[in-house]
């Protein structure tokens, strides 16, 4: 009973996806997000068509009619309907926003740090001690293999893994902490339906669960200087076993430089 309906709704989603040209989605919250976005888009398109239809129909009437008088009917009734419609959308959106942002990640989530600087993203994993080593601005030297200014005198530093690529295991929640060294950058992964600015002086956390292995675009979405357009990186989602292999390989070399 439910199956044909489900199949139909999935088929509709696919068609709808293709019509609006959304990129493939690779995150746990993605399908619910896409449903809500596509619903919004279709409603907007429908209202656009309706308003133009009413405008053109009103213009096309051959005989002049008397002016309308009933404000209740023509202003307040449609406004009430629109209030319900937009209110409903706002409530749905609020539920998704709450799930994404109101609470922190699962304590067992994987810790990753992403740092933006003109014009590159660096990724840091805390290593087996599960603690990020101390960093000092004076030590920042991308050319010398220490882009984040990791302080070698801190005992948590030695096992930190620094990478130019964000590699994550599929199916595990990620607690991503976001920083910027110089100006504001925008950390955006279209395939994760995720975006968050990295602000100098602030550490901001976002959490999500990647689901589908593959390579995806990371883009900067906050104007950050002349190289803004090329401040891109790659998110590589791997099956958990492959990820474990990747991480152990890099732990032994201390990072992929």
Determine, following the binding rule CB under 8 A, whether residue 48 of this chain makes contact with other proteins.
yes
Distance CA 197, CA 212 (A): 24
DSSP character at residue 144: G
Instruction: Answer for the pair 32, 208: CB distance below 8 angstroms, yes or no.
Output: no
Residue 180 has phi, psi (to 5 degrees) of: -135, 140
Residues in the chain: 257
Near other proteins in 102-131, by CB under 8 A? 102, 117-118
Cβ closest to other proteins, residue 127 vs residue 179: 179
Beta strands in 143-210 (DSSP E): 161-163, 166-169, 174-180, 185-189, 194-198, 204-208
Strand partners, 195: 188
Tokens standing for 170?
A: 């599929």
Q: How far apart are CA 193 and CA 234, in angstroms?
A: 15
144 binds other proteins (CB under 8 A): no
Q: Which string of x and - marks every residue 173-212 that binds other proteins (by CB under 8 A)?
A: --------xxxx-x-x-x--xxxxx-xxxx-x--------
In the block, tokens 């080593």 appear at 133
Q: Please, what is the minimum distance in Å from the beta carbon of residue 254 to other proteins?
A: 21
CB of 130 to other proteins, least distance (A): 25
170 near other proteins (CB under 8 A): no
What track of x and - describes contact with other proteins for positions 218 through 257 (by CB under 8 A)? xxxxxxxxxxxxx-xxxx----------------------
Is 41 or 159 the residue whose CB approaches other proteins more closely? 41
Closer residue to other proteins, CB minimum distance, 110 or 233: 233
Q: Report the residue from 7, 54, 244, 245 that binds other proteins according to the rule CB under 8 A.
A: 54
Helix and strand numbers (H, E) in the chain are 5, 10
CB of 45 to other proteins, least distance (A): 8
- The contact mask relative to other proteins for 78-97 (x = CB under 8 A, - = no) is xx--xx--xx-xx--xx-xx
Q: How many residues bind other proteins (CB under 8 A)?
A: 91
| Alpha-carbon span 210 to 173, nearest angstrom | 7
* Positions in 55-74 near other proteins (CB under 8 A): 55, 57-59, 61-69, 71, 74
């Amino acid at each position: 009973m439910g199956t044909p309906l489900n199949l139909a709704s999935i088929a509709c989603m696919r068609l709808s996806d293709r019509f609006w040209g959304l990129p493939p989605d690779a995150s746990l919250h993605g399908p619910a997000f896409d449903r809500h976005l596509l619903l919004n888009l279709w409603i907007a398109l429908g209202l656009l068509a309706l308003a133009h239809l009413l405008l053109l129909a009103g213009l096309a009437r051959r005989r002049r009619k008397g002016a309308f008088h009933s404000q209740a009917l023509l202003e307040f009734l449609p406004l009430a309907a629109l209030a319900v419609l937009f209110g409903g959308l706002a409530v749905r959106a609020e539920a998704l926003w709450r799930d994404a942002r109101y609470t922190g990640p699962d304590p067992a989530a994987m810790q990753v740090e992403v740092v933006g600087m003109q014009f590159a993203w660096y990724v840091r994993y805390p290593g087996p001690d599960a603690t990020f080593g101390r960093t000092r601005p004076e030590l920042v030297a991308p050319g010398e293999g220490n882009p984040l200014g990791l302080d070698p005198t801190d005992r948590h530093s030695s096992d930190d893994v620094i990478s130019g690529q964000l590699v994550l295991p599929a199916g595990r929640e990620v607690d991503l902490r976001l920083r910027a060294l110089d100006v504001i950058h925008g950390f955006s992964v279209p395939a994760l339906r995720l975006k968050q600015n990295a602000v100098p002086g602030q550490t901001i956390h976002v959490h999500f669960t990647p689901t589908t292995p593959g390579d995806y675009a990371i883009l900067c979405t906050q104007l950050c200087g002349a190289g803004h357009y090329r401040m891109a990186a790659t998110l590589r989602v791997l099956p958990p076993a492959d990820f474990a292999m990747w991480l152990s390989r890099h732990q032994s070399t201390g990072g992929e430089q």
